[in-house]
A and B are shown apart, each in its own frame.
Chain A
Amino acid sequence: MANSGFVVCKETAWCPGCGNFGIVRALAKALDGLGLQPNEVLYVSGIGQAGKLPHYISGNVLNTLHERTLPTATGAKLANGDLTVIAVGGDGDGYAEGGNHFLHAIRRNVNITYIVHDNQVFGLTKGQASPRSDRGMVTGTTPLGVYNEPFNPLATAITLNASFVARSYAGDQEHLARTIQAAIQHEGFALIDVLQPCVTFNKINTYQYFRERVYDLDQEEGYDRTDRQAAWARSWEWGDRIPIGIFYQIQRPTLDQHYADILIKPLVRQELDKSVVEEILDEFRIG
């Protein structure tokens, strides 16, 4: 794919009607809208249906291991801050085996955008329960229904004082594109949990299910997205009404800023200064 605009690939390995199509289109739209070029963008993904997304849109790609998206994206961003780094994963990928990385990426506040395709199942392995599955959902690994409390990524992120916490919906590309743009423009770690219907394996959380329930927090008068308590309370709203939009956004020091004295320019553009090594070696010299 050439470097002119963000082209979305027609051939994919996704099921017809998959929520992922909405996400990749919204992503292309957001990146085009920001005036970025594909060679300035790096997508980092793991394994799962979401992990394939980078292969279906123009840009640089680092398609890594299941659940290892965030540390890999962190390393890439620290080494070349000129790249707009978009980490892409699924809820199985990011909140199960990658849960520890998720917590620590939030703590680090590295300046990347993290898009989580939240379909509440493990899609690529054929529909087993994910940490996001609703209680009672019957899957191949939970024949008696899911019995664990669903993981709440937004509440977790807000609790850890993540600097940007949003939810969007794959069925609303306008909203999603707008949210992605805000996330990229945000200085720090930006989480977007995207409600993404899995048309094959999740017969509960469908397009219709979400269409009837989602409402936009961004449009709500008087909602203060810097109010952590309010954001936390909204993050638990999951029933007849499900909020989407930016729940929480604050400014706090980013990981890149911590290394500001080193990152006068991107690491990858810095030449080795052997005199510094000489200097360090000299300190160990005796006699």
Chain B
Amino acid sequence: MQNLNIKIGGQAGQGLVSIGTILLRAATQEGWYLFAHQDYESRIRGGHNFFQIRLADRPVASWENDIDVLVALDEATITRELEEVKPGGVVIYDPDVLGPDAQKLAEQSNSIGLPFARMAEELGQPKIMGNAVAAGAVWALLSEDLTELHETLALMFSDKGPAIVQGNQQVASAGFARVRELLGERPRPGKPANPGPRLVLRGNDALPLGALAAGVKFMSAYPMTPSTGVTEFISEHGRRAKLIMEQAEDEIAAINMAIGASYTGVRAMTATSGGGFALMTEALSLAGSAEIPIVVVNAMRPGPSTGLPTRTEQGDLRYAVAMSFGDFPRAVLAPGDVEEAFYLMAHAFNLAEEYQMPVVVLSDQHLADSYTTVPPFDLSRVEIKRGKVVSGEEAGPDYLRYRFTADGISPRLYPGFGQGLVVAAGDEHDEHGHLIEDAETRQKMMEKRMAKQKLVEENALEPVLCGAEDAELMLIGFGSTKGAIAEAVEMLNSRGIRAQGVHLPQVFPLPQGLEVLLQKPARKFIVEGNYTGQLEELIASRFAWKPDGSIRRYDGRPMNAKYIVDRLPGGVCHG
């Protein structure tokens, strides 16, 4: 496989996301597959952030440590990231932002000093177009000509008018020419033969797209990193899909608004992170008791408390599974990549409506903010199952919202759709929905609701496998570690170790198929992004089982193949 890793480092507000976005679009247009992840601080200006793009000639699912092209918009990129550059890698830096020491460091490598902003100004353009200079400079290492880059700039700046488009194209050409002049012809990363149409999206794009495909009609949310992208996406695109997105005064209001909308019969959701999810848990219990479908995206970030707001962790698993006070049916899904995020999000609405319960979709900052090349989503694969719903006529005037049924699912009537009245309550209630105190009804109602949990479990999504079936080593994970595990498995297999990856798209209830896998003779390792081993605990308590070892990360950074393989016991990799 041919790979090229580009890392753009700089301060918040300097435009590294612009450069990164220009490059990833142009590179996709040119045919490459890519994976791009972002690392940023909880601030709007200053600090040190990076945007890292991995280009490849086939689909890639994770990131790599070694950098081929480093673009330095600030001094910290040189002082902190230089050692990641491979021998022979290229460093493109802005000499105007470097102190003498950093300048000396930068000059030692295979490097080019390009004063991005100054070059833009010398060409009669505003400083901000220094970003396009940088993009053009990197592009010289990727492509023979500027066609795709110019097209991308035209597309991205079309709403700003032709002068801005031409200005960006002009300065990008200058950056391109300068690098070409200084470095001459260099080998370029190979491209796939027939890449075909693709999308390049983040988890925070795929999740709301999945919701739109599922026919979500109402969303309410309160901004919180890293979930805000979901909310902004729906705000931007939802109106066309005749969808209401109301920004709430707090997360409590957000989920309760969505529950109110859902009660009337529309698909409704909210999205949040960390403390916002904590505020929503009271209402999740209401949805459980009143049997109102609701889908909540929790884009995890490291806790406890405010933790590391802009970074990644899988530390809310236990909390999402426990979800709230009291016993009620629920499901927790954990998409592992952009494509899965789209289809699982749509599936979440089906689950929520078929079983009339809350469903939590666990994302995290790494999935939320990382771009991946994916095949176009297939809407015909998105089946909409609204569960048991009766018309006004079928319901009749004596409709019972919580009618006792064999499977515990009482058909829904949407209020106002018939003569029957729809009485829903979070207080314990009878079949009518009216409040009760008696023990017998309480017990029956509890058993009715919990009967649904059994069905949810029977229909749980099975593990997604990769690698060797006759594995001697198994890596088990959930959520955004999927790509890292898949690539670790590849790495191990290429070293002659028969490895298999097990990704769990549904973490609660766990699928029964997992038990079969756990009985395989392979040595099993749980890979997860939290301190206490929350997945391990979940699996252990469900199947009375213990792994052979665990690999955990809780420094706020995403895993990749190297991280996992480096942490396997010595005997595994070298034995």
Contact = CB atoms under 8 A, between A and B. Distances in A.
B197 interface: yes
Interface stretch (A75-83, A142-150, A185-193): A75-83
A281 B376 CA distance: 8
B207 interface: no
A104 to B, nearest CB: 4
A273 B241 CA distance: 7
A82 B416 contact: yes
A198 B256 CA distance: 29
B435 A55 contact: yes
A267 B421 contact: no
A105 to B, nearest CB: 9
Given A73-B260, A281-B376, A79 B266 contact: yes
Interface string B227-269: 0000000000101111110101110111011111111111010
A281 B379 contact: yes
A58 B433 CA distance: 12
A286 B423 contact: no
A108 B420 CA distance: 31
A279 interface: yes
Contacts of B29: 286-287
Contacts of A285: 197-199, 376
A63 to B, nearest CB: 4
B195 interface: yes
Interface stretch (A64-72, A165-173, A246-254): A64-72
Contacts of A70: 253
B25 interface: yes
Given A39-B421, A259-B244, A281 B415 contact: no
Nearest to A56: B434
Contacts of B397: 2-3
Contact of A79 (B212, B250, B268, B376): B268
A279 B416 contact: no
Interface residues of B, number: 71
B217 A79 contact: yes
B215 A60 contact: no
B483 interface: no
A275 B246 CA distance: 24
Contacts of B243: 262
A138 to B, nearest CB: 30
Contacts of A60: 415-416, 421-423
Contact of A71 (B196, B205, B260): B260
A100 B257 contact: no
A268 interface: yes
Contacts of A279: 240
Contact of B256 (A1, A71, A261, A281): A71
A71 B253 CA distance: 5
Contacts of A79: 217-218, 244, 260-262, 264-266, 268
Given A61-B425, A284-B199, A286-B25, A268 B265 contact: yes
B352 to A, nearest CB: 15
A10 interface: no
Interface of B: 25, 28-29, 31, 195-201, 205, 209, 212-213, 215, 217-218, 220, 237, 239-244, 246, 248-250, 252-254, 256-266, 268, 282-283, 286, 290, 376-377, 379, 384, 397-398, 414-416, 418-427, 433-435
18 contacts: A39-B419, A60-B421, A61-B425, A64-B290, A65-B283, A75-B246, A79-B261, A79-B268, A80-B416, A101-B249, A101-B252, A101-B253, A262-B243, A268-B217, A276-B242, A285-B197, A286-B28, A286-B199
Given A3-B419, A64-B256, A104-B253, 6 more contacts: A2-B397, A39-B421, A59-B421, A65-B426, A79-B218, A262-B242
